[in-house]
Chains A and B, each alone.
Chain A
């Protein structure tokens, strides 16, 4: 038990002090960090260059400079990133890599104002044809070339191949962690779970894998205890700030699975093994599914969530819609209809990294938890009859 707590605290330390981690990495290795914007940036490429790929998912910060650069109706993550950028927080990075799956990110790559090189790229948005794999592979090749220039180094195929293997192993370990955390809500609360996920953005993945494996080993051996609270699946771009997770914890709500871009979505699909590592990464992109940022007229995200609810015995879903994120906002109405049709409880909350007070969210979460508890009690009493 104490070993588990020690490990969880270790993840928390990493997740809450990224600046220190980047500094230490630079001092220890002589290599720098590469900022990776959300979402689906092929981190394997900077990793293969010996860099520390760090996730850039904004953070809790007061917007002082950002309003002069970005309209108020841009999503909360990009507001934070703009603020931190203008404060010079990212100036120590070697480069930043920016994907372009939405209009906001397209603009963000163009609006980059610092000396740090900005490497923008565009995934294929039509994932149904073979030519998309070739295009994406060549786009990744362009990332490699621009990163080589920024890092003044070469990135070999072999090095990327090794990184692909490291990342595949990490994905597998993270998927296992998600399952084990769901079995032990008494040991891994929603904040702990998030910190394990988030810390992956600030560690070399081979090192993160070692730590998560150790945690998984301990969780696998731990006795399963009945959970008196409710169990939910969370979906969306991300579930922060921690004050919102605190509300989950206080209300005995266990997060038993997630469909968050910042968490499990990135671990859903491995890169297939192959001779050309950039082709492997491109094919991984084409295999990804169930995300608001990946075009999908079938909306496989909904059936994926339904399966997750069933597999993990969840009482409902909390959809965490990032404020001003149109891809997520478009998914809500059909998702609501789908979940209603399938008898799955769904609560939508709005995520804002700059949120001043969580009281409105608290009320909604409390009410949702009460509804779920009442349903569970009703089901239990029917079962007894």
Chain B
């Protein structure tokens, strides 16, 4: 990769390369693994297994407006329209093997980690059954309490060890624990630079157009264990720091309101939602995504690795989820929040009622909720979104009027 390349060019290059490398690997008989988005990449990476991420691929299909036709393929097979649309898209892709997005070679085995939701357990179970390939499960017990329990960590470590054994059988290679430590170093650095870059959105004005985060996210999902990921986010950090130094904002027209976006993007309407918010002067500065892949653990320590993967936001208790959002609202200077009532994501949507009230009360900020879906374009109303955004703007304005001087700060 050319050293003068921008982070955006690096993002495109490494993403395309990962799919091209996987396609070449498949042709040469190497093993391909489909994995869930916050599953530990460290094991596959150590064994040189190419990992691909159906959630990311489904998002890419939806963002390129190729979702509806594929979703209907799944629905014709009997998949109910209530099922997560990423799953419907991917199960259709597994059937037909093509889409508007990059070619994603079919897997030789699957790695499912339920630290994001339980739906992935059923989704990957169906893939395993349909494609007749092994399924490796990493169960991260739900943290109904404040943090992972010791019994949970013991159980996860045993699963890690079993996962290594299974991967050794699948690949016929021996797991190199020294290489594992090196991969952990890279993954930790990738996470560090990802969080560092994203946290620069806290600057005022933010050098980062929040919707860019959704684009960069693909890299931290797909290539966390690779040097290219680390290098890209290091580069992005440099670029953003330079923008902060120059007082530049990537947000066109200037940032009038700083907003937290709760939930997954509406990929089929990414541009529409961005434009609608931009037209109201709203920049998306706050999100839970930066911390989602900011996985911190002690190198070489499986127990620490287990705790990190078991402590994802989606696997946290309601108080933990509220605390995280309050922190995001404060750290990123958000004056309001939009909650995406995502038909595909019960994990996030079902706690919205409690989250909204608690976060709003703790930060004294207004919020709106809108109906949508991460990739099924039929579950979104542009008019509703516009009206709600307008409402949010009015609520923020009212509060500013009640607290004169606030506008001048921005």
Chain A interface residues toward B at CB < 8 A: 68-71, 73-74, 100-104, 106-107, 109-111, 120-122, 124-126, 128-132, 134-135, 138-139, 142, 292, 295-299, 321, 323-324, 326-327, 329-334, 336
Q: A103-B346, A132-B155, A326-B84 are in contact. Are A122 and B351 (CB under 8 A)?
A: no
Chain B residues in 8 Å Cβ range of A331: 122
Contacts of B159 in A (CB 8 A): 126, 129, 131
Residues of B within 8 A of A336 (CB): 78
- Report B-chain residues with C-beta under 8 Å of the C-beta of A298: 129
Q: Are B141 and A329 in contact (CB under 8 A)?
A: no
Q: In this complex, what residue of A is CB-closest to B317?
A: A110
Is the beta-carbon distance between A125 and B137 smaller than 8 angstroms?
yes
- Please name all residues of chain B whose beta carbon is closer than 8 Å to the beta carbon of A100 when the two chains form the complex: 142, 144
Distance in angstroms from B168 CB to nearest chain A CB is 15
Min CB distance, B165 to chain A, in Å?
10
Contact indicator A124/B141 (Cβ below 8 Å): yes
8 Å CB contact of A134 from B126, B154, B351 = B154
Q: Return the contact of A107 from the options B128, B149, B162, B351 (Cβ within 8 A).
A: B351
Interface contact A107-B346, CB-CB below 8 Å: yes
Which of A106, A109, A292: most chain B Cβ within 10 A?
A106
Q: Hey, which chain B residues are within 8 Å of A126, CB to CB?
A: 137-139, 159
**B354 near A: Cβ within 8 Å?**
yes
B78, A69: Cβ atoms closer than 8 Å:
no
The interface residues of chain B lying within 8 Å CB-to-CB of A111 are 318, 350-351, 353-354
Can you list the 8 inter-chain pairs with the closest CB atoms, starting with the nearest?
Answer: A131-B158, A333-B78, A135-B155, A107-B350, A110-B318, A297-B128, A138-B151, A330-B122
Does B249 touch A at the CB level, under 8 Å?
no
Q: Which residue of B lies closest to A333 (CB)?
A: B78
CA distance A311 to B37 in the complex (A): 43
CA distance A292 to B119 in the complex (A): 11
Q: Which residues of A contact B346 (CB under 8 A)?
A: 73-74, 103-104, 107, 326
Chain B residues near A104 (CB-CB < 8 A):
346, 350
Question: Which residues of the partner chain A approach B114 to less than 8 Å between Cβ atoms?
Answer: 125
Contact indicator B125/A330 (Cβ below 8 Å): yes
Contact: A334 with B152, CB < 8 Å?
no
Nearest CB of chain B from residue A261's CB, rounded to whole Å? 15
Distance (whole angstroms) from the CB of B256 to the closest CB of chain A = 31
- Using Cβ atoms and an 8 Å threshold, which residues of chain A touch B122? 292, 326-327, 330-331
On chain A, the residues within 8 Å of B368 by CB distance are none
**CB distance B154 to A131 under 8 Å?**
yes
> What residues of A have a CB within 8 angstroms of the CB of B78 in the complex?
332-333, 336
Residue in chain B with minimal CB distance to A121: B144
- CB pairs A–B below 8 angstroms (15 shown): A74-B346, A74-B350, A103-B350, A110-B354, A120-B142, A121-B144, A125-B114, A126-B138, A129-B159, A142-B151, A326-B119, A326-B122, A330-B123, A332-B78, A334-B126
Name the A residues within 8 Å of B141 (CB-CB): 122, 124-125, 135, 139
What residue of chain B has the Cβ atom nearest to residue A120's Cβ?
B144
Q: Are A131 and B117 in touch, CB under 8 angstroms? A: no
Question: Which of A107, A122, A139, A295 makes the CB contact (< 8 A) with B137?
Answer: A295
B124, B129, B138, B350: most-surrounded residue (chain A CB, <10 A)? B350
Set of chain A residues within 8 Å of B297, measured between Cβ atoms = none
CA distance A122 to B152 in the complex (A): 10
* B150 CB to nearest chain A CB (Å): 8
Which residues of chain A have C-beta atoms less than 8 A from B352's C-beta? Answer: 71
In the assembled complex, the CB of A141 is this many whole angstroms from the nearest CB of chain B, namely: 8
- Cα distance A131–B158 in the bound complex, in angstroms: 6
B139 x A124 contact (CB < 8 A): yes
A260 to B138 CA separation, bound complex (whole angstroms) = 27
Q: How far is the CB of A368 from chain B (nearest CB, A)?
A: 17
Could you tell me which residues of chain B, from 312 to 329, have a CB within 8 Å of some CB in chain A? 317-318
B127 nearest CB across to chain A (Å): 9
In the bound assembly, the distance between CA atoms of A333 and B159 in angstroms comes to: 30
Contact in complex: B158, A329 (CB < 8 Å): no
Interface presence of B121 (CB below 8 A): yes
Please name the residue on chain A nearest to B124 by beta carbon. Answer: A297
> At the interface, yes or no: B60 with Cβ under 8 Å from chain A?
no
**Could you say which residues of chain A place their CB within 8 Å of the CB of B79?**
329-330, 332-333
B118 touches A106 (CB 8 A): yes
* Residues of A contacting B77 in the complex (Cβ-Cβ under 8 angstroms): 333
Other CB < 8 Å A-B pairs besides A134-B155, A298-B129, 8 of them? A103-B350, A111-B354, A132-B155, A134-B154, A142-B151, A299-B129, A329-B83, A330-B87
Cβ of A330 and Cβ of B126 under 8 Å apart? yes
CA distance A106 to B119 in the complex (A): 12
Tell whether, in the assembled complex, residue B350 and residue A71 are in contact, meaning their CB atoms are under 8 Å apart. Answer: yes
Which residues on B sit within 8 Å (CB–CB) of A134? 151, 154-155
* B270 contacts chain A at the CB level, 8 A cutoff: no
Instruction: Identify which of residues 41-83 in chain B touch chain A, using a CB-to-CB cut-off of 8 Å.
Output: 74, 77-80, 82-83
B230 at the interface (CB under 8 A from A): no
Q: Separation in Å of the A99 CB from the closest CB of chain B?
A: 10
CB distance from B218 to the nearest CB of A (A): 24
Across the interface, do A102 and B135 meet the contact criterion of CB distance under 8 Å?
A: no
Q: Measured between C-beta atoms, what is the minimum distance from B348 to chain A in Å?
A: 9
Closest chain A CB from B288 CB (angstroms)? 16
User: A197: shortest Cβ distance to chain B, in Å?
Assistant: 26
B347 proximal to A (CB < 8 A): yes
Contact of A131 among B119, B155, B349, B351 (CB under 8 A): B155
* A67 nearest CB neighbor, chain B only: B353
B162 touches A326 (CB 8 A): no
Report the minimum CB–CB distance from B167 to chain A (whole Å): 15
Given A68-B353, A109-B144, A326-B346: A73 touches B82 (CB 8 Å cut-off): yes
B278 proximal to A (CB < 8 A)? no
Check B235 for interface membership: any CB of A closer than 8 A: no
Q: Does B331 contact A (CB under 8 A)?
A: no
Give complex CA distance A44, B90 in Å: 41
- The docked-state distance in angstroms from the alpha carbon of A126 to that of B74 is 27
CA distance A121 to B317 in the complex (A): 12
- Given A71-B341, A71-B352, A131-B159: A103 in contact with B151 (beta carbons within 8 A): no
Residues of B near A121 (CB, < 8 A) are: 144
